[in-house]
Structure 1
């Protein structure tokens, strides 16, 4: 017999954690020794538990406690009602109001995405179906991911920001090594692809002057050949002329060029000149920005992220919009653990089209918060879970340890500029550097 009413939220457990993160470089500076996440566990009145994971800050943690007071007693199946309640409390921040980082600093999408995933985990357990089935059904049995390369300083992250293991081998050893030139990045790529079987490669740039980074891409192309697609992300740090100059040099080398410049207008200007497709997770980052994107033609590929676009179902909506207006859709990543990865896999499996392997930072993380240890990659892909809900369960012992990391490390939000200043005194972020 079908239940007449859905399970209702009895409790929400909010646990900030800190996970070891290597000293990875990007246009905003340097990753801290720990990355912050928040684990959300929703428990129903009949003791069914659903989990989710989002990027963490003290502000988001506080907002989640405010949301908790609003959501106790709500039916987990009534996500439209839940979204309405949260929108009335937190409002919708416009891209303009978010300034230099329009893809970030939003409470509503972070909070709703965490609640939605946890509720869908519960729905799947109630119905005995994996989340992919709640998103329309499985289009593929496994979801491919791309190697994600970073320029970095020596070290593996963690206590004191160094934490080297002299006995490490393979990728674990390579993960510790410095990579600040083309040869060292090629070494990093070989080790990562060997360990995880990735069939495509992305380089995070915006760190060094363009000649060095373009030479790095050319070195990767020479090493792996045209059969391994390459993506390059200058992190929106280039001037328009710089993007056109080096974009032309890389034509025929790249699968796509991600955010070479800042803003939709500049992206559209580059797109008119280059043959290489342009991707973004920085200039078109919300549904409000899509009309302008379509009008001026700012990108070919939107790199979505269910944490930043308002959840899994919103991402399915985004997929339909992209198909309607001739855009492709792939996924952006941040420093994450297995709960986020599992959600990405369910979403990736449900997308009608997925022409590009997805991003993931997962190889760079050492910690895990799910039972059974870290999720396995086979030939660069992750099999879609068949178990009800997300298909992963919370490891309470690991959760307690990672929460203690959070308490001990003292970090309350990510600030790559401050971390970079510890290495390079006086270093300042510049929205356009070259």
Structure 2
């Protein structure tokens, strides 16, 4: 074994990043969101970078895995899963509340573990690519496109410390979309719904269709609606929607909606593990799966999901979370290798004003160029990392775990419009 490829050390740095008051069906984004930066250091002195969720339940799983990794090769990414199950599998290491539903569906200990492993896998691939002088996409079999298309992610939001202003009606959403179009050149638009009554969100999509005729439009209420409400919205918007994402909660409800509308249904809630695939595909519950390497356990497993979707004739897009430049680079590297990527990928990145990489990725005409530099093609800004970690250390615990419902109560205890 080449000693330069052996892991010498693993550094975990939890951070808090600024987040604007974006609204969803559970509440509002907190002023700061936790993320975890993983650094895998090889005996050859190369540092590989990874990123994932930074809530306490993820940190509790990441620490024993970080302690167990030294001495192993960065090439052994398949072995990470068995290692994580062995050292992180004790149920005592996992918060008892993980079975609570969320914006990604029901959480389990296995799903949390995969989200942690994903950051370690990406960091190992980044270190391996840097050592060999190869981009991560080459380690995944090579790119099939030189740039990856992304979609504008629109949110209802309160006015905050950010420069975007308020968006609580169709006019505000259209103004937001115009800015995304002007600044980044995004060609498609996704609205986070489930916030206001369906009629208001229908009106917002209609306003977008009038402002941007022919552009792909998506609506995602995160499972907030009943089957009948989902069908009513689908009927109202069937002529303008590219797809309707998770209108109802759970595979049975999604399957019923799918059987009664021609509007394609997409998901990142009822299909987030391989174990959930058979039921959803057999029931015809979804026509598009939004992959997310944080959910599925990394870049290799994202490619496995893509192959499975291709075999079953299910479309593929990409989900995002409140990610920074490391995750965006990983998303772009794996997306570049997927022949069957049917739709523009989601990204929250334009909403994030802080980062831990030295140069922010730049969207051109709604696309990101695929880096051919070794590894992920990003470098760590240690000063920024230290400052964001200091914020985490100084926090009283209010923001170390994401809680959109609590954030909403603090922002507007009297209701969503603050009336």
TM-score (norm 1): 0.90
Q: 1:48 aligns with which of 43, 46, 49?
A: 46
Q: Which residue of 2 aligns with 1:209?
A: 197
Classify 1:21/1:303 alpha carbon distance in 2 versus 1 (closer, same or farther; 3 Å): same
Deviates more, 1:56-65 or 1:391-400: 56-65
**1:234-286 deviation digits (Å, cap 9, x = unpaired):** 11100111011111111011000000000001101111111111000011111
Equivalent-residue separation in structure 2 for 1:295 and 1:90 (angstroms)? 32
State the SS of the aligned residue for 2:190: strand
Q: 1:400 aligns with which of 375, 383, 386?
A: 386
- Paired residues of 1:34 and 1:409 also in contact (CA < 8 A): no
Residue 98 of structure 1 and its aligned partner are, at CA, apart by 3.0
Q: 2:70 aligns with which of 69, 72, 77?
A: 72
State the SS of the aligned residue for 2:379: coil
1:414 aligns with 2:396: no
RMSD: 1.8
Equivalent-residue separation in structure 1 for 2:80 and 2:303 (angstroms)? 18
Residue 296 of structure 1 and its aligned partner are, at CA, apart by 0.8
Q: 2:367 aligns with which of 350, 374, 381?
A: 381
Residue 405 of structure 1 and its aligned partner are, at CA, apart by 1.9
**1:318-359 deviation digits (Å, cap 9, x = unpaired):** 001001111111111111110000000001100012110000
**1:110-155 deviation digits (Å, cap 9, x = unpaired):** 2210110000001111221100111111110000000000000001
Matches within 5 A, 1:129-148: 129-148=134-153
1:302 aligns with 2:289: yes
State the SS of the aligned residue for 1:137: coil
Classify 1:103/1:302 alpha carbon distance in 2 versus 1 (closer, same or farther; 3 Å): farther
- Paired residues of 2:3 and 2:43 also in contact (CA < 8 A): no
Residue 83 of structure 1 and its aligned partner are, at CA, apart by 2.0
1:369 aligns with 2:374: no
Matches within 5 A, 1:149-298: 149-155=154-160, 163=161, 173=163, 175=164, 177-226=165-214, 228-298=215-285
Residue 200 of structure 1 and its aligned partner are, at CA, apart by 0.4
Equivalent-residue separation in structure 2 for 1:412 and 1:338 (angstroms)? 20
Equivalent-residue separation in structure 1 for 2:135 and 2:48 (angstroms)? 12
- Paired residues of 2:58 and 2:113 also in contact (CA < 8 A): no
1:390 aligns with 2:376: yes
Q: Which residue of 1 aligns with 2:300?
A: 313
**1:140-187 deviation digits (Å, cap 9, x = unpaired):** 0000000000000001xxxxxxx35xxxxxxxx4x2x10000001100
Residue 36 of structure 1 and its aligned partner are, at CA, apart by 1.0
Q: 1:90 aligns with which of 88, 92, 101?
A: 88
- Paired residues of 2:153 and 2:348 also in contact (CA < 8 A): yes
State the SS of the aligned residue for 1:133: helix
Equivalent-residue separation in structure 2 for 1:267 and 1:92 (angstroms)? 33
1:355 aligns with 2:342: yes
Q: 2:332 aligns with which of 323, 345, 369?
A: 345
Query: May I ask how many residue pairs the two structures share in their alignment?
Result: 405
Q: Which residue of 2 aligns with 1:128?
A: 133
- Paired residues of 1:417 and 1:427 also in contact (CA < 8 A): no
- Paired residues of 1:120 and 1:389 also in contact (CA < 8 A): yes
State the SS of the aligned residue for 2:78: helix
State the SS of the aligned residue for 1:425: coil
Equivalent-residue separation in structure 2 for 1:233 and 1:59 (angstroms)? 26
Classify 1:269/1:6 alpha carbon distance in 2 versus 1 (closer, same or farther; 3 Å): farther
**1:287-334 deviation digits (Å, cap 9, x = unpaired):** 000010121111000111101111000000000100111111111111
Q: Which residue of 1 aligns with 2:94?
A: none
Classify 1:238/1:92 alpha carbon distance in 2 versus 1 (closer, same or farther; 3 Å): farther
- Paired residues of 1:128 and 1:388 also in contact (CA < 8 A): yes
- Paired residues of 2:218 and 2:242 also in contact (CA < 8 A): yes
Q: Which residue of 2 aligns with 1:39?
A: 37
Residue 9 of structure 1 and its aligned partner are, at CA, apart by 0.9
- Paired residues of 1:120 and 1:131 also in contact (CA < 8 A): yes
State the SS of the aligned residue for 1:350: coil
Residue 5 of structure 1 and its aligned partner are, at CA, apart by 5.6
**1:46-92 deviation digits (Å, cap 9, x = unpaired):** 21110011111122112211112211111111122222111223349
Unaligned runs of 5+ in 2: 92-96
Classify 1:294/1:231 alpha carbon distance in 2 versus 1 (closer, same or farther; 3 Å): same
- Paired residues of 2:64 and 2:88 also in contact (CA < 8 A): no
Equivalent-residue separation in structure 2 for 1:424 and 1:20 (angstroms)? 19
Unaligned runs of 5+ in 1: 156-162, 165-172, 429-434
